[in-house]
Structure 1
Amino acid sequence: MKYCSINGKQQTTLAVTDRGLAYGDGIFTTAKIVNGQVLLLEKHIERLTHGCQYLKLKLPTNINLQKQLADVVKGFSLAVLKVMITAGSGGRGYSRFGLTENSANLIIMISDFPRQYELLAQQGITLGDSKQQISTSPMLGGIKHLNRLEQVLLRDELDKRIEDDLIVTNCQGNVIEATSSNIFYWHNEQLCTPEISTSGVNGIIRQAIIAKKNDIKICQTRLEDLKHAQAMFISNSLMGIMPVKTYNNRKLTLDMVLNIQKEMKSFI
């Protein structure tokens, strides 16, 4: 880790009573730093703001989040930014009763960027199917909250597999995402992405692509549909657009994905 601060003070310790530790009571976002700037900073601020409003979290009143982030990342040419907001310490059991206006904790961390992403973005990755399924959660669908045990178990599975990443379905058998990214695929020349309103995370890069390419079809997707995909890619804020060169050992074309990479270059 290159940098860590809590509520503006450089430190790496947090109270064991913090609700983020006890209950995952909080939200986070992860972003790419390039030449001292956070890519799509406003979108990450929007994600954090929306998450706080939805989960009824209150940032400490003396913190200007956007300015603080801009100041912190200035000295980094290529790195990973992670921002967490926890409910802080207080309450009894699950109840937040007793928390104050300034209970929440803002945690900012900067770490090394995964250098292998640059090469993989050109060569493509291998993709398989996860043996595990994630839950549906109408209350929390799309929110990047701190409860990520499903992703921990998915990553544990991936660490024991030979593929670079895995496609994940929910308990209803609908394709949702990869282990930490969104999925796009072409079927009969149509660019599609799974519908994820009750499972998974609506990633910032996913949102940017959908906004740019207004002909994308958002649809319920099954693994059977992907057997006939012409091309595929996964995306998140760090890897950007990552082509899939093989899916379950079946070769896919990269040309369609490389064209999308060029179109979105100014955005990501």
Structure 2
Amino acid sequence: MIDCLIDGVAAQDVSADDRGLAYGHGVFETIEIAAGELPHWARHWRRLVLGCSRLGLAEPGEALLRGEAMRLARGHERAVLKLMLTAGSAGVGYRLPDGAPTRRVLCIRTWPERRLPTEGAALRLCRTRLPFDPALAGIKHLNRLHSVLARAEWRDEYAEGLLCDPDGCVVEGTMSNVFWVEGDTLLTPDLSRCGVAGIMRERILEWADGRGATARIEACPPERLRSADAVFVCNSLIGIWPAARLDRHLLPRAGLIEELLSAVRAGEC
């Protein structure tokens, strides 16, 4: 069974002069495979289009890319598709030549078995900060060094670490988006200046809107998390992880999270 395609051909190696390797010039998606299908493909494609536009990459065409993705997904009951688009081998120097073709790298990975403690996730505030960068905010570009540095700050005593912006407001986790609950209101940080707009985050906001719940996007100083009625982190692979504590501060668990977890299990979110 083929587990990796590069520009549509079964292969494992990318050229040493690839601009994704040299400059981080590219975008990626981490996509759930369920029973050989890609249930959230449309959302990933929309973010890929946005990322290509921001980075000046030629779109490879949805039919072509989805066809290659399905070629790898078939036969897998539960797996992960890592999809990367790079500026390819388009010469040296920072300027991308006109008409440079986009390189397509698609690989199958084993579904991660991450077990969450029954009492909930232990979170920490990381020392590493995200810079303001509106040009890249929202997309999943290939330079994830801030997440790499933040994740190096702990071993296994925490489930996830939270990164703040230069103003000290929480933006996201190293691999996740953040939500918190105040009364009947669901809130998540503003990502207009930095951070990744996750697929699961999008699904949760749509779920809240569909049930008439109040959901807001606001700045998130750490004090708002400490005083919240509940906090959770999420992404497409882990789903939703309710938080039990932030560093040494214990966090409650509001009923809204239980409703959301039930919606996820029922496929309503």
Q: Structures share a fold, TM > 0.5?
A: yes
Question: What SS is found at the alignment partner of 1:211?
Answer: helix
- CA RMSD across the alignment: 2.0
Instruction: Provide the residue aligned with 2:225 in structure 1.
Output: 226
User: What displacement does 1:252 show?
Assistant: 2.1
User: What displacement does 1:91 show?
Assistant: 3.4
Code of the aligned partner of 2:116: L
Matched, 1:167 2:162: yes
Code of the aligned partner of 2:257: V
Q: Where in structure 1 do 4 or more consecutive aligned residues deviate above 4 Å?
A: 59-63
Give the share of equivalent positions with the same residue, in percent.
32
Question: What SS is found at the alignment partner of 1:38?
Answer: coil
1:164-198: CA deviation from partner (whole Å, max 9, x where unpaired): 11121111111101111100011233211111111
Instruction: Provide the residue aligned with 2:36 in structure 1.
Output: 36
The CA distance in 2 between the partners of 1:241 and 1:86, in whole Å, is 30
User: What displacement does 1:60 show?
Assistant: 4.8
Instruction: Provide the residue aligned with 2:215 in structure 1.
Output: 216
The CA distance in 1 between the partners of 2:143 and 2:33, in whole Å, is 25
User: What displacement does 1:100 show?
Assistant: 3.8
User: What displacement does 1:230 show?
Assistant: 1.3
Instruction: Provide the residue aligned with 1:115 in structure 2.
Output: 113
1:193-221: CA deviation from partner (whole Å, max 9, x where unpaired): 11111110010111111122122111111
Question: Would you say how many aligned residue pairs link Structure 1 and Structure 2?
Answer: 262
Matched, 1:192 2:187: yes
Q: Where do 5+ consecutive residues of structure 1 fail to align?
A: none
User: What displacement does 1:53 show?
Assistant: 2.2
The CA distance in 2 between the partners of 1:62 and 1:33, in whole Å, is 17
1:22-65: CA deviation from partner (whole Å, max 9, x where unpaired): 10011001011111112311111111122112222114579711
The CA distance in 2 between the partners of 1:9 and 1:188, in whole Å, is 52
Contact 2:231 2:251 in 1 (8 A): no
1:45-96: CA deviation from partner (whole Å, max 9, x where unpaired): 1111221122221145797112221232011111111100000012341011
Instruction: Provide the residue aligned with 2:120 in structure 1.
Output: 124
Question: What SS is found at the alignment partner of 2:85?
Answer: strand
Matched, 1:154 2:153: no
Question: What SS is found at the alignment partner of 2:153?
Answer: helix
Q: TM-score, normalised by structure 1?
A: 0.91
1:104-155: CA deviation from partner (whole Å, max 9, x where unpaired): 2100011111112xx4286521112112211110111111111111111111
User: What displacement does 1:246 show?
Assistant: 2.1
Contact 1:59 1:105 in 2 (8 A): no
CA spacing shift, 1:121–1:114, aligned 2, 3 Å? farther
Contact 1:121 1:242 in 2 (8 A): no
The CA distance in 2 between the partners of 1:61 and 1:81, in whole Å, is 18
Q: TM-score, normalised by structure 2?
A: 0.90
User: What displacement does 1:256 show?
Assistant: 3.0
Contact 1:208 1:267 in 2 (8 A): no
The CA distance in 1 between the partners of 2:37 and 2:63, in whole Å, is 19
The CA distance in 2 between the partners of 1:206 and 1:62, in whole Å, is 23
Contact 1:122 1:243 in 2 (8 A): no
The CA distance in 1 between the partners of 2:237 and 2:268, in whole Å, is 13
Contact 2:130 2:163 in 1 (8 A): yes
Q: Where do 5+ consecutive residues of structure 2 fail to align?
A: none
Matches within 5 A, 1:1-268: 3-60=3-60, 64-97=64-97, 100-101=99-100, 103-116=101-114, 119-120=115-116, 123-159=119-155, 162-214=157-209, 215-249=214-248, 250-253=250-253, 255-265=255-265, 266-267=267-268
The CA distance in 1 between the partners of 2:268 and 2:37, in whole Å, is 13
CA spacing shift, 1:158–1:80, aligned 2, 3 Å? farther
